[in-house]
Amino acid sequence: MSLGCHNVSLEIARVAAISYAAGGYSDVHEGVHRKLGKVAVKRPRFTSETKVAKEERLMKECSLLAKLDHDNILRCIGYCVYNDARCLVTPWAENGTMSRYLRTEAAADRRRLLADIASALVYLHTRPLPIVHGDLHVDNVLINVDGRALLSDFGLSRELHPEGAASATRTSLGRLVYTAPELHDGYKPSLASDVFAFGMLIVETYSGRRPLARAATDVKALIVLSQSQRPSRDEITRGDFLRHLWELAQECWAHDPALRPNMIDVLPRLTRIPE
């Protein structure tokens, strides 16, 4: 159950002074909640000029997360004031990011992790005001103590309003190879751009490397993508990568967003018993 985006500062017994991880716009510290135990405290990184905007962005993430209640979405405990900034408080994910987990757990059930994430995306995409996650990749998925995937980092997420008026203009894109080509032409993130990212996630989950590994840098990978090239099958050497997952990934990263499947169709194709 979601606890809402309210001030839980008094519940936080301590926060580690040295950050555990540095994200693109925040530092994440380990903390201790008096009742819930270990928590993550995500503090925006700012200068005196950017403080208001950065804090506001994090509080937006907090409010959005607080509306959500799904087993595969990182729960919002609330916010706390730490080191002169409002910070997002979430339960600590014992097994770290999915990228790390895939590196350390050779036997991890990759298809189940993908099904966990697909299930979270179906939940977001089928809400009365559908939510675009907007920044799906292996470092924005966390793994809990039971080895289940938790979708996290809703810093670029948006509710889709029918007229499009209320959704803020996007100021930054997510990780380059996960970014659907239409977003580089100025189109707004959509449910279909999340599906594109999911296709890339299928590849990275099994290859353990950035999709389009043949391109030396992220920028080169982006150029290759914009020329309508896509990851190749030989990027994945694991024997448990099933043919129907490769076919699914190819459908997800179709150039034309209208040709991509929706997440409701994707989910059963992940959980289906292979022939």
Active site residues: 135
Angle at 262 between CA 257 and CA 268, to 5 degrees: 145
CA-based nearest residue to 193, from 161, 158, 218, 163:
158
CB-nearer residue toward ligand ATP: 21 or 160 = 21
Stretch of residues binding ligand ATP (CB under 6 A), selected from 3-11, 123-131, 148-156, 193-201: 148-156
Q: Is 26 in the site for ligand ATP (CB under 6 A)?
A: yes
CA dist., res. 168 & res. 162, Å (int) = 13
Among the listed residues 90, 97, 119, 140, the single contact to Mg ion using CB under 5 A: 140
Q: DSSP labels for 148-216?
A: -EEE---TT-EE--TTS-SSPPP-----GGGS-HHHHTTPPP-HHHHHHHHHHHHHHHHHSS-SSTTSS
Question: Applying CB under 6 A, what is the total number of residues that bind ligand ATP?
Answer: 19
Site string for ligand ATP, 97-136 (x = CB under 6 A): x---------------------------------------
Contacts (Cβ under 8 Å, ≥6 apart) of 195: 252, 260, 261, 262, 263, 266
List C-alpha distances in Å: 143 to 74, 160, 164, 213: 10, 27, 33, 24
Among the listed residues 90, 119, 179, 205, the single contact to ligand ATP using CB under 6 A: 90
Q: Is 171 exposed, middle or buried (0-12, 13-18, 19+ CB in 10 A)?
A: exposed
Q: Is 152 in the site for ligand ATP (CB under 6 A)?
A: yes
Nearest distance in Å: CB 125, ligand ATP: 20
Structure tokens at 217: 């840098």
Among the listed residues 3, 21, 36, 122, the single contact to ligand ATP using CB under 6 A: 21
What DSSP state is assigned to residue 94? T
Stretch of residues binding Mg ion (CB under 5 A), selected from 36-44, 68-76, 153-161, 258-266: 153-161
Q: Is 96 in the site for Mg ion (CB under 5 A)?
A: no
Question: Applying CB under 5 A, what is the total number of residues that bind Mg ion?
Answer: 3
The residues that touch ligand ATP, with contacts defined as CB under 6 A, are 21, 23-26, 28, 40, 42, 74, 90, 92-93, 97, 139-140, 142, 152-153, 155
Residues lying near Mg ion in the complex (CB under 5 A): 23, 140, 153
